[in-house]
C-alpha cells in the first residue's frame, strides 16, 4: 500500500528490475568487464514506435529509485517531485528509464559485487571508471530494452555530464539532452573538495586500504565525514541560515560517544553523515568522485569545447541555479556558449533559487515550468510523428 503522504499524481508502487548484460564492456582504463548487472526502474509505457523513452542519469550518490514508492517505504524516490503523471517528466507521455550505474552500490555491478576471478568482493580493486563507461553500459541496457534512440537524456550534476557525453559518443541515439546544474569539467575547488572527502574516508582506521569487507569492517566514520563535507557544499549559505541560523538544539545536548552537539546544524550534519554511511559504500564513493574529477568533455578535442559539441546532433536544454556555487551558473553558460558557437540548438534557463546545488532536487515553479514546457513540446512532436 502507498503511504498516506503519497501525492495523488504519484507513480505509485514500483519495483526495481535488473538486467544481466552478457556482452563484454571495455572500460576507458583498458580493463574489460566480461559481463555486468544493472538495476533499474521504469515509469510509464513505451509507445508502439518505441521512440518516447527518456533516460534519467543519476549523480554521485544517486540510484535507480527516482520516483514512486517501494513497498513499505514512507519516502518516494529522489526525483519524485519531477517524475510522474502530469509532472514535468510526465509518465503519461514518456517511458522513463532510471538506472543505477556500474561502480555504485545499489545492486549494479560495483566494488561490493563479487569478482568472478577471485570469488571475493571487488573492493578497492574495481577498475577505475569514466563517464563514457557509464554511457556505454547504459547503451547496452538500451539494447536490452530494444530502444534504438532516446527521446531525451536528462541528468543533473554528474548526470548532466553523462547527458553531454551521450550527445558526443552516440549522436544518432539521442534527440534531446537536458543538462542541469553541471559543467564541462570540474573546477580546481571542486576537485579539492572531493580529495578532502576521499582523505577523510582513507584516514578511517577501518578502511583497511580499501579491503574493509574482507575484514568485516566498515569505515563508517570516514564515510560520514566525507558526506558531511559534500553536503555542506551542496547547500547555500542562505539556505543554511534559513534552516538553522545559530539555533541551539533543544533537549539532549549530548550525542552518542559523548560528543556535545550545540547547534542544530551540527545535529543535522551528523544525522546526514550517519545515514549516508549506513547506505553507501566507501569504495564506490572514492571511485565515483575520481570519475567526477577526471571528466573533461573536450580533452580529446584539443580542449576545444566547440569542436567537441560539433559532434552532437541533438537539441539541448541547459539549466542552472543562481545560488549553486558548486556548479555555478557560469559553468552552464560556458556549455551554452560552446553549443551556440557550434551552431547547435540550445535553450538556457538560469533559475533563481536560494537552495544551492541541491535546488535541482527541490520544488521550484520556474524550474518545473522550464523543464516541463520543454518536454511537453517534445511529447507533442512525438504525437505528431505517429
Output the nine-digit C-alpha cell for 369: 515550468
Q: Which residues of 88-109 are buried (b: 16+ CB within 10 A; e: fewer)?
A: bbbbebbbbbbbbbbbbbbbbb
- The SS3 call for residue 232 is helix
36 labelled catalytic: no
Given the DSSP bridges, would you call strands 120-121 and 114-115 parallel, antiparallel or unpaired?
antiparallel
> In sequence order, which residues have a C-beta less than 8 Å from that of residue 28 and are 6 or more positions away?
129, 130, 132, 133
pLDDT tens, residue by residue, 93-116 = 999 999 999 999 999 999 999 999
Q: What span, in angstroms and rounded, lies between the C-alpha atoms of 225 and 196? A: 10
Kindly state the average pLDDT of the residues 59-69.
Answer: 97
What is the model's pTM? 0.93
Q: What span, in angstroms and rounded, lies between the C-alpha atoms of 258 and 240? A: 25
Residue 242 binned pLDDT confidence (cut-offs 50, 70, 90): confident
Q: Which of 324, 332, 353, 358 is catalytic?
A: 324
Q: Which of 98, 113, 137, 157 is catalytic?
A: 157
* Rg over CA atoms, the chain: 21
Residue 264 binned pLDDT confidence (cut-offs 50, 70, 90): confident
Q: What span, in angstroms and rounded, lies between the C-alpha atoms of 292 and 60? A: 8
Residue 9 binned pLDDT confidence (cut-offs 50, 70, 90): confident
Q: What span, in angstroms and rounded, lies between the C-alpha atoms of 3 and 312? A: 43
Kindly state the average pLDDT of the residues 181-204.
Answer: 97
What is the model's pLDDT at position 268? 80
Cα–chain-centroid distance for residue 18? 18
What is the model's pLDDT at position 283? 98
In the chain, DSSP finds a helix count (H) and a strand count (E) of: 10, 14
Residue 164 binned pLDDT confidence (cut-offs 50, 70, 90): very high
209 labelled catalytic: no
Q: What span, in angstroms and rounded, lies between the C-alpha atoms of 348 and 350? A: 7
Residue 247 binned pLDDT confidence (cut-offs 50, 70, 90): low
Sequence-ordered strand ranges (E) for 157-207: 176-180
Cα–chain-centroid distance for residue 6? 23
Residue 271 binned pLDDT confidence (cut-offs 50, 70, 90): confident
> In sequence order, which residues have a C-beta less than 8 Å from that of residue 141 and are 6 or more positions away?
19, 21, 38, 40, 97, 99
pLDDT tens, residue by residue, 292-325 = 999 999 999 999 999 999 999 999 999 999 999 9
Output the nine-digit C-alpha cell for 112: 561490493
Kindly state the average pLDDT of the residues 49-78.
Answer: 96
Percent of the chain's residues with pLDDT above 90: 85
Beta bridge partners of 368: none
Q: What span, in angstroms and rounded, lies between the C-alpha atoms of 283 and 44? A: 34
- Which structural domains are found in the chain, ordered by start? 17-185+298-385 (3.40.50.1820), 191-289 (1.10.1740.110)
Region of poorest pLDDT, from 123-132, 187-196, 269-278, 358-367: 269-278
What is the model's pLDDT at position 259? 58
Would the pLDDT of 261 be above 60? no
pLDDT tens, residue by residue, 207-219 = 999 999 999 999 9
The mean pLDDT value of the chain amounts to 93
311 labelled catalytic: no
Amino acid at each position: 500500500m502507498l503511504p498516506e503522504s503519497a501525492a495523488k499524481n504519484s507513480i505509485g508502487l514500483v519495483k526495481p528490475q535488473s538486467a544481466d548484460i552478457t556482452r563484454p564492456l571495455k572500460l576507458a582504463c583498458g580493463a574489460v568487464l566480461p559481463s555486468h548487472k544493472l538495476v533499474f526502474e521504469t515509469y510509464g509505457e513505451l509507445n508502439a514506435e518505441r521512440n518516447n523513452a527518456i533516460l534519467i542519469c543519476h549523480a554521485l550518490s544517486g540510484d535507480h529509485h527516482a520516483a514512486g514508492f517501494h513497498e513499505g517505504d514512507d519516502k518516494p524516490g529522489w526525483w519524485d517531485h519531477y517524475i510522474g503523471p502530469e509532472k514535468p517528466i510526465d509518465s503519461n507521455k514518456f517511458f522513463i528509464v532510471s538506472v543505477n550505474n556500474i561502480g555504485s552500490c545499489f545492486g549494479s555491478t560495483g566494488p561490493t559485487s563479487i569478482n568472478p576471478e577471485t570469488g571475493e568482493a571487488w573492493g578497492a580493486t574495481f577498475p577505475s571508471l569514466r563517464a563514457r563507461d557509464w554511457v556505454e553500459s547504459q547503451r547496452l541496457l538500451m539494447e536490452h530494452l530494444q530502444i534504438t534512440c532516446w527521446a531525451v537524456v536528462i541528468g543533473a550534476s554528474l548526470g548532466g555530464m553523462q547527458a553531454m557525453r551521450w550527445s558526443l559518443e552516440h549522436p544518432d541515439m539521442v534527440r534531446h539532452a537536458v543538462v542541469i546544474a553541471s559543467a564541462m569539467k570540474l573546477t580546481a575547488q571542486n576537485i579539492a573538495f572531493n580529495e578532502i572527502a576521499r582523505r577523510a574516508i582513507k584516514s578511517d582506521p577501518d578502511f583497511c586500504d580499501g579491503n574493509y569487507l574482507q575484514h568485516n569492517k566498515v569505515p563508517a566514520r570516514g564515510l560520514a565525514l566525507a558526506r558531511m563535507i559534500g553536503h555542506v557544499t551542496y547547500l547555500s549559505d542562505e539556505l543554511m541560515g534559513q534552516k538553522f541560523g545559530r539555533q541551539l538544539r533543544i533537549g539532549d545536548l549530548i550525542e552518542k560517544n559523548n560528543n556535545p552537539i550545540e547547534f542544530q546544524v551540527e545535529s543535522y550534519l551528523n544525522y546526514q553523515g550517519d545515514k549516508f554511511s549506513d547506505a553507501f559504500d566507501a569504495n564506490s564513493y572514492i571511485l565515483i568522485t575520481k570519475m567526477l574529477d577526471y571528466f573533461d568533455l573536450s580533452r580529446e578535442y584539443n580542449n576545444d569545447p566547440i569542436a567537441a559539441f560539433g559532434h552532437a546532433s541533438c537539441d539541448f536544454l541547459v539549466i542552472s541555479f543562481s545560488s549553486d556555487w558548486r556548479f555555478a551558473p557560469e559553468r552552464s553558460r560556458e556549455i551554452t556558449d560552446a553549443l551556440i558557437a557550434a551552431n547547435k540548438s540550445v535553450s538556457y534557463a538560469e533559475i533563481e533559487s536560494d537552495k544551492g546545488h541541491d535546488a535541482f532536487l527541490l520544488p521550484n515553479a520556474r524550474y518545473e515550468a522550464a523543464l516541463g514546457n520543454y518536454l511537453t513540446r517534445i511529447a507533442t512532436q512525438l504525437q505528431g510523428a505517429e
